[in-house]
Amino acid sequence: MKAKEVVLSVAIGLLFCFQIIFPVATAHTGGIFTIIVSENGVVPGNVQMLVNDTARWINVDDRENITHRILVDSDSDGIYDGENDWDSGNLTDSCEHVNGTKVDENCNAYFDVIFNETALNMSYYDIVGTYAFVDIVSPNSKTYYMFRTVDAHGLTSNPTPTYQVEIVDDDGAIYVLVDVVDYQKKKPKGSKSIPFKRYLQLDPAFLQNLINENQTDFGDNGTAVGTNPVIGVVADSIYDNKKFKVRVTSRSTGKKMDINLEFKKQMDEKGVLEQSGIY
- Averaged pLDDT of the chain: 78
Q: Minimal CA–CA distance to 74: which of 22, 124, 130?
A: 130
* CB-CB contact of 11 with 5 (8 Å): no
What three-state secondary structure class fits 193? Answer: coil
pTM of the model: 0.48
Tens-place pLDDT, residues 198-225? 777 778 888 888 888 888 777 776 666 6
**Residues 74, 265: Cα–Cα separation, whole Å:** 88
Strand partners, 170: 173
Q: What share of the chain is helix, strand, coil (3-state, %, to 5)?
A: 10, 35, 60
If you count them, how many residues does the chain have? Answer: 279
**Strand 15-21 versus strand 46-50 pairing type:** parallel
Task: Tell me the per-residue pLDDT of 262-278, one tens digit each, with 9 for 90 and over.
Answer: 888 777 665 555 555 54
**CA-to-CA distance for 5 and 136, rounded, in angstroms?**
11
Residues 73-114: tens digit of each pLDDT: 888 888 888 888 999 999 999 898 888 888 888 899 999 998
Q: Tell the burial category of 58 from Cβ atoms under 10 Å away from its Cβ (0-12, 13-18, 19+).
A: middle
In this structure, which amino acid lies at residue 176?
A: V
3 state SS of 90: strand
Contacts of 264 (CB under 8 A, 6+ apart): 239
231 DSSP 8-state letter: B
- Residue 188 pLDDT > 80: no
Which class for 28: exposed (0-12), middle (13-18), buried (19 or more C-beta within 10 A)?
A: middle
Judging by beta carbons within 10 Å of its beta carbon (0-12, 13-18, 19+), is residue 76 exposed, middle or buried? exposed
Q: What pLDDT was estimated at residue 111? A: 93
Residue 41 and residue 145 in contact, taking contact as beta carbons nearer than 8 Å: yes
Measured in degrees and rounded to the nearest 5, phi and psi for residue 80 equal -100, -10
Backbone angles phi, psi at 213, to 5 degrees: -65, -30
> What pLDDT is recorded for position 91?
92
Question: Do the Cβ atoms of 127 and 115 come closer than 8 Å?
Answer: yes
CA–CA distance from 84 to each of 35, 120, 122 (Å)?
22, 11, 12
Do residues 73 and 18 make contact, with C-beta atoms less than 8 angstroms apart?
A: no
Tens digits of per-residue pLDDT, 132-184?
Answer: 888 888 877 777 888 888 888 888 899 899 988 887 877 778 788 899 988 87
